[in-house]
Amino acid sequence: MPDSKNGIPNFEIRISKSRFIIFGFSLVFFLSSCETGLIRQQEEQIRLQQEEIMRQRRELEELAAARKKEEQERAACNRAFRDFEMAQAAKVPNEAVALYRQGLKLCPDDDVAHYELGKVLRGMGQTQDARQEFEAALKINPGFRDAGRQLEAIQKK
């Protein structure tokens, strides 16, 4: 039907109410399914980020614990060094042995203390104990030549 005012045909679009409602629901369903997919992606990203945060926290806690342990070991070795110094100054071999052993309880990885204790023990005739101390020094420091020589000298006898 032409429009009486401008001569252009007038087309009426007739959409039934039920079709309009179906179209509306379809559009809402489509949009909500897209939104649900986005939400799932975001939830997965958040979950992965939380896992990474937890992993980093554990790593930081492990580093802090290792640092604390290292500081404690350093403090123990500093106390042990006083025992080692007193052992070197001791006039009586039994006193030196006791001081070296006391210090080595605090700082068991001191290759020089094991070596010095081994020399005192060897001088006292306790070659088996001396051998163990020279071996301990070499285990800590395989390049410790004097400890190696002392051990060779004991083994030759």
In 3D space, the residue among 116, 149, 145, 146 whose CA is nearest the CA of residue 133 turns out to be: 116
CA distance 50 to 4: 69
What the block records as the tokens of 52 is 């990474």
CATH number of 17-156: 1.25.40.10
Q: Which pLDDT does position 156 carry in this prediction?
A: 86
Which residue type sits at 107?
A: C
Domain spans of the chain?
17-156
DSSP state of 9: B
Q: Which pLDDT does position 40 carry in this prediction?
A: 83
CA distance 92 to 79: 21
Residue whose tokens read 């489509």: 30
In 3D space, the residue among 157, 114, 106 whose CA is nearest the CA of residue 138 turns out to be: 114
* CA of residue 96 relative to chain centroid, distance: 39
CA distances to 12, 32, 72, 98, 154 from 15, in Å: 9, 24, 83, 104, 109
> Bridge partners of 9?
2
Which residue type sits at 1?
A: M
- pLDDT tens per residue, the chain (157 residues)? 455 556 665 555 555 767 667 766 676 666 666 677 777 888 899 999 999 999 999 999 999 999 999 999 999 999 999 999 999 999 999 999 999 999 999 999 999 999 999 999 999 999 999 999 999 999 999 999 999 999 999 988 7
Q: Which pLDDT does position 37 carry in this prediction?
A: 72
CA distance 102 to 79: 10
> Which residues 6+ apart lie within 8 Å of 8 measured at CB?
2
Q: Which pLDDT does position 85 carry in this prediction?
A: 95
